[in-house]
A and B are shown apart, each in its own frame.
Chain A
Amino acid sequence: MAGNAQEGRTSRIGNVLIRAAITLSMVATLNFVLFRVIPGDPAALLLGGARMSVSAERIEAQRQNWGLDRPLFPDQILDYLSATLHGDLGYSFKFRGRLVSDLIWERLPATIALVGLAQLIAMLCGVMLGLYAGWRRGGAVDRIAMGASLALYSTPSFWLAMVLVVIFSTALGWFPGYGIYSPGASIGSTDKILDYLRHLALPVAAVALGLIGQYVVVARAAMSDVVTEDYMVTARAKGLTNGQMLMRHAFRNAMLPLVTLITLNLGYVVAGAITVEAVFAWPGIGGLTVEALNARDYPVLQGIFLLLGVSIVAANLLADLAYGILDPRIRQ
């Protein structure tokens, strides 16, 4: 029996990996196609911009140089896939001569700090609050948490960000309203970290408040389903205290639907928070996306999309595996 279970688990993980690989190749292909169907010729755009003062011959020569004269399929796509596999995402149009991978790499830490921290806070607070609300359904905590969650859930986070700036930065002056470091701040490393955290506070709050609602709603629903299950009656009949019933029987079952939500959301950490980053002039991936969009910087956009695709697929993979560990019914 144990051997079979082991075998079943291995083959399940194998299946999950194969599916992830197929999805990734489709993401890469779509990513290629998407930017080829967008109107606008890169060579013309890059050399002349809107003024078109460069001769048609120069543009044609450049097209040949970049291989844009060759057929999209199979030549260009194979070039693209092979370069992508080698980690070459090409050069930015806007930041001339800079590698797309370098640009993304530079912006990634700020985004991971912002969205990662916000996700972590929203997750911990939201899940705990939601589980408790579901456990004591109809109680005061439940009613307040649900009301607040629905309000936050339906509030655009950039608006929330602006409200936070008005209150905590402009009016109260507790936190800086934009940027990542104060200009001309002292160089001391402790001060620098503190300065960074002070700048991080409002953007993190804005993103976390926007995210917390869905965790509360989903966690509450999961817990209220569990509470009505027959095995909870069994636990009560066994003479367990409420705390024991919650921790030993309800918690893990209620976490099952949440694990999927949590891991999938982890995939979006690298995407950044476009609107909030814009409000706070936060130099993350979201900001880079906006800059690249304005400049029609297709290689950068392509790179960001690929990063997002890869991280979503990876998050899905993680969700599949985590679910298998938590729920014995999935393991076979």
Chain B
Amino acid sequence: MTNLSQDKASLLEVDGLSVEYRLKGVSLRAIDRVSFALQAGEAVGLVGESGSGKTTTAMAIAGLLSPNARVSGGQVRYRGNLLPIDNDAAMRPHRWTETSVVFQGAMNALNPVHRIIKQIAEPCILKLGMSRAEATARARELLELVGIPTDRGTAYPHELSGGMRQRVMIAMALACRPSIIIGDEPTTALDVITQAQILKLLGKLRSQLNLALILITHDLSVVAESCDRVMIMYAGRIVEDGTVAEIFAKPKHPYTRLLIESIPNPASGIRIIRPIPGDPPNLMNRPSGCAFHPRCPSATGVCTTEVPSLEKFGWGRVACHLHRSSQEGRVAVHA
């Protein structure tokens, strides 16, 4: 993998993106110089604890930041064109036609007072200028695509199960044929069986429609099932980026390693879940140097003073003093 942010063929390029929230007069940096590129049809998992900045990153890309958020640096390019992500009105034409979001449909992401077919058809009418009849026909098509009998289109959200609502949410996201879908914890509120079905459906649609997928989750096993690549975020920064196979087999960053070790794996015979010691970082009072150093078992002196930059390492990228390209000799010691 070459340095992706320089790759002209990328569908989406995020370069040095920083977002700050204003909270009671205090400015809080939620994401800090996040850079990555997304290829057409690629599925990337964005993994991290609550508050690690994964949702902020995704919402910034979609131009859906809340009013108290401010893009304090960096830029996002879509097919080479700069996206006005901090301008609500200017982002409007881009929304849903290029990037759509699958929210937690099992919760309250669907409007309770409208029939689902109307909600799916709505963007076709408003964004694509279809007639009501065309849009309804398109909505039927989409329902079929996500495996909902078309006669259920007249149902209201509360008449459907959580899994069905998530399917409706996916159908709605596909309405305007976007090229990027952001899944914001799309399976979090679902039971394991339904979760697997939804992930399978997303995977099927992705290859069928050549969609790029950014999957936000705190669940690494979800990523393992449905993504090509995974980016691990910690305290607003990407700490590791690599292919799923590589990261699961040989995690570089100690945080990634601990994260993977904390997944219970029945096949390996290890029955004890090993939690990561310590608490998630306080963004109001970010630790000096590497934000992970207070919890890191391998931290050295330099980790407390110097912020590690995200550097190319092997086939991916990692932000860790233990994995400086020039210090590869030390890797063996800690790997």
Contact = CB atoms under 8 A, between A and B. Distances in A.
A249 B112 CA distance: 9
Nearest to A239: B95
Contact of B94 (A233, A236, A239, A252): A239
Interface in B92-129: 92-97, 100-101, 103-104, 107-114, 122-123, 126-127
B156 interface: yes
A233 B113 contact: no
Contacts of B103: 230, 233-234, 237
Contacts of A329: 112, 156, 158
Contacts of B91: 239
Interface stretch (A153-161, A164-172, A240-248, A313-321): A240-248
Interface residues of B, number: 29
B108 A231 contact: yes
A241 B92 CA distance: 7
Interface string A316-332: 00000000001111000
Contacts of A244: 126
A226 to B, nearest CB: 10
A238 B96 contact: yes
Given A237-B100, A239-B94, A329-B158, A231 B112 contact: yes
B94 A248 contact: no
A233 B122 CA distance: 15
B62 interface: yes
Interface residues of A, number: 22
Interface in B18-50: none
Q: Is the interface of B mostly helix, strand, loop or mixed?
A: loop
Given A238-B96, A239-B93, A230 B112 contact: no
B126 A230 contact: no
A57 interface: no
Contacts of A235: 111
Nearest to A234: B109
B96 A237 contact: yes
B64 interface: yes
A31 interface: no
Interface of A: 229-231, 233-241, 244, 248-249, 252-253, 256, 326-329
11 contacts: A234-B103, A237-B100, A237-B101, A239-B95, A239-B97, A249-B111, A249-B114, A326-B113, A328-B112, A328-B158, A329-B158
Interface of B: 62, 64, 89, 91-97, 100-101, 103-104, 107-114, 122-123, 126-127, 156, 158, 172
Which 7 pairs between the two chains have the least Cβ-Cβ distance? A239-B95, A230-B108, A328-B156, A231-B111, A239-B96, A230-B109, A237-B101
